[in-house]
Structure 1
Amino acid sequence: MTENTDIRAEVVRAAQAMDESGLVVGTAGNVSGRHTGGTIWLTPSSLPYDQVSIDNLAGVDLEGNLVAGVSRPSTEKAMHLACYRAFPEVGGVLHCHPVHASMFAVAHRSIPAVIEEVIIYLGGDVAVADYRPTGTDELGEEVVRHLADRSAVLMANHGMLCVGSSPNHALHAAQVAEHTARIVWGASRLSDPVELPTKARSDFAEVYSYLRTQTWATSARLLS
């Protein structure tokens, strides 16, 4: 396999796993991965995930120009590219519409980091970005504001965006966020969710910071 094929295969696997795990319905959502040469490989627009393959991904540069492949890239490419331009350590971006996380997005409520793994893997509470129209540069700029020290952000009245060192890593972030949203939603039926102690939150945030600054870039290079 060439390096390009490796990252393209990772995008396809993450996209199909996203679909199979119920994080999207139909052709909603999108996944991308960054190759070390600079090309961003995106899932194509409006294609069922069981038909997505390494041969129909779209390769674009950081300005959004099609440089490889023949498919039309996802209409959300501006949001993906904004993340890659802002964060050189990011090697994968995933946008999805999971049921419970989307309920928080529609209610304009953050998903609280009341479980240790949320801070370790996502950095802390998953905030809600202000509403911006789908597919616009403005939406990309808005989500980036919330991702400097987080792996996930909710988009008001829309869904969720996750970043990671690879497409699969971004998928894991989405799964953690959705799992937590479901737990918090259920716990709120019993009582108000209780926050972790301040020191625990601080300690686990340091773990996230270390992983992001020290291992993400290395992992992305190994994948690509």
Structure 2
Amino acid sequence: MKIEIKHKKQICEIGKRIYDKGFVAANDGNISIRLCQNEFLITPTGVSKGFMTPDMIIKVDGEGNVLEGDYRPTSEMKMHLLVYQERPDINAVVHVHPPYATAFAIAGVPLNQAIMPESVVYLGTIPVAEYGTPSTSEVPDAVKKYVPQHQGVLLENHGALTWGRDLEHAYFLMESLEFTAKINWIAKQMSGDRELSKEHVQTLVDMKHKMGINGISPVGADVPAGIHAKKITNLLEYSLSEQDLNLIVEKVTSKVLTELKNILK
């Protein structure tokens, strides 16, 4: 029981962190922890992650049945349970909507380039899982193929999802994911996004394996000997057409309307 209370308090603390950082708005996002093989703690639906208290956290089994708690579990519980089913080594899952990462998710652009040593070693590649209607089996079905070899995914037109050996690990992976997306975006605006060479990436991957960190890493760029990096895009090439802008506006509008409907339920 003491362990459960500790974990419930930690979920609330992480919930406040993600709310204060602007990774979520209103009642967005959800967090979970594995207690044992078939018992999990998970956040409630309809409650802001920044204002949760331990008594709000719900205990569920592997089928999603409520074992303890007065609140309803998040409607996206299926996504969390899928990760636990696929990865017995995973003990925590975080789902939020960090602005830069979510923008990449809306644009359908994965974080799979070797732009910083830290992201190569600690984060690896972050793919885009195909769009699925929130709270349905479409989302876990889309995420499933990426869980074994990655530490997180971007959810197309939705947000981001990370999983880790414990809750702090899963949360810090989310911080790293958002930071990488932000740096990537800023570099693109300067037409200065350069990808590390394959040679340098391989050195980083070797370090990663020695540290016991698994998962798919970026490959790196083909560059002449002695050159450490290669420009990924030209600013003009990266400029969006009117059609692209209209599509993004349409997707963002659709997401906002969906979120409003969920809040007003």
Please tell me the TM-score bracket, short chain as reference: 0.7 to 0.9
In structure 2, C-alpha distance between the alignment counterparts of 1:84 and 1:134, rounded to whole Å: 18
- Taking a change above 3 Å as real, the CA distance of residues 80 and 203 of structure 1, as seen in their structure-2 partners, is farther
In structure 1, C-alpha distance between the alignment counterparts of 2:155 and 2:202, rounded to whole Å: 25
Percent identical residues: 29
Quick check: 2:129–2:154 contact (8 Å CA) kept in 1? yes
Counting only pairs closer than 5 Å after superposition, residues 121-160 of structure 1 correspond to structure 2 as 121-122=122-123, 124-160=124-160
Q: After alignment, is 37-46 or 181-190 more displaced?
A: 37-46
Structure 2: which amino acid aligns with 1:68? E
Quick check: 2:86–2:147 contact (8 Å CA) kept in 1? no
- Cα shift at 1:108: 0.3
- The structure, 1 or 2, with the larger RCO (C-alpha pairs under 8 Å, 6+ apart) is 1
- Report the TM-score, using the length of structure 1 for normalisation: 0.88
In structure 1, C-alpha distance between the alignment counterparts of 2:166 and 2:116, rounded to whole Å: 24
RMSD: 1.9
Equivalent residue for 2:32? 32
- Report the TM-score, using the length of structure 2 for normalisation: 0.75
In structure 2, C-alpha distance between the alignment counterparts of 1:119 and 1:24, rounded to whole Å: 26
Quick check: 2:33–2:41 contact (8 Å CA) kept in 1? yes
CA deviations 1:113-161 (Å, max 9, x no partner) are: 4111112222x22111111111112211211321222212001111100
Equivalent residue for 1:178? 178
Question: Tell me, what secondary structure is at the counterpart of 1:210?
Answer: coil
Question: Tell me, what secondary structure is at the counterpart of 2:103?
Answer: helix
- Taking a change above 3 Å as real, the CA distance of residues 131 and 50 of structure 1, as seen in their structure-2 partners, is closer
Higher Cα radius of gyration: 2
- Taking a change above 3 Å as real, the CA distance of residues 55 and 21 of structure 1, as seen in their structure-2 partners, is same
Quick check: 2:82–2:140 contact (8 Å CA) kept in 1? yes
Q: After alignment, is 179-188 or 136-145 more displaced?
A: 136-145
In structure 2, C-alpha distance between the alignment counterparts of 1:50 and 1:19, rounded to whole Å: 5
- Cα shift at 1:62: 1.1
- Cα shift at 1:199: 3.6
- Taking a change above 3 Å as real, the CA distance of residues 183 and 83 of structure 1, as seen in their structure-2 partners, is same
Q: After alignment, is 65-74 or 203-212 more displaced?
A: 203-212
Equivalent residue for 1:81? 81
Equivalent residue for 2:101? 101
Q: After alignment, is 14-23 or 193-202 more displaced?
A: 193-202
Structure 2: which amino acid aligns with 1:91? N
**Equivalent pairs, count:** 212
Structure 2: which amino acid aligns with 1:211? I
Quick check: 2:105–2:155 contact (8 Å CA) kept in 1? yes
Question: Tell me, what secondary structure is at the counterpart of 2:194?
Answer: coil
Q: 4+ residue runs of structure 1 moved beyond 3 angstroms? A: 202-206
Equivalent residue for 1:210? 212
